[in-house]
Amino acid sequence: MHSIQNHNQALTPNLNDMSGSRKRPMDMFAPTYANLLESRQKACETSENAHLEWDRERWNEEKASNMEKQWFEEVKLQKKHKKKYEFEKEKWNGECKLKEKQCQMDLTIAAL
């Protein structure tokens, strides 16, 4: 029984030893490792927040750009419709004037 206890003590490091020579590496670096994990987690959160903010700004810019493009397209379409309307109006007015002249000529010929 005594030999098993000595064997277990030999496998278990003495954490109270002030020289540190018998401490396991993870025990010696545990606080540093925990700090590293915490700082890495904070860095990831900060990075993620920065990416989210960047995505939000980019989305807003794209949305504004798309709205501006849509507005310009609507203005172009309105101008196109207006030009087409004015062209049709002029064409119709021209046809009306031509028919009016034709009628006057017909009346003049009929009067002779």
pLDDT tens-digit profile of 19-40? 555 555 555 556 676 777 788 7
pTM of the entire predicted model: 0.34
In a domain, 2, yes or no: no
Structure tokens at 110: 């009929």
Q: What is the domain range of residue 93? A: 22-111
In a domain, 13, yes or no: no
The stretches in the chain having pLDDT less than 50 are none
Identify the pLDDT of residue 89: 87
How would you classify residue 17: left for phi > 0, otherwise alpha for psi between -120 and 50, otherwise beta?
A: beta
Identify the pLDDT of residue 26: 56
Residue by residue, DSSP assigns 40-72 as: HHHHHHHHHHHHHHHHHHHHHHHHHHHHHHHHH
What is the number of domains present in the chain?
1
**Centroid of chain to Cα 5:** 65
Asked if residues 13 and 27 have their Cβ atoms less than 8 Å apart, the reply is yes
Identify the pLDDT of residue 99: 87
In a domain, 52, yes or no: yes
In a domain, 26, yes or no: yes
d(CA 11, CA 52): 50
Q: CA neighbours within 13 Å on the CB side: how many for 38?
A: 6
Identify the pLDDT of residue 112: 74
Q: One-letter amino acid identity for 83? A: K
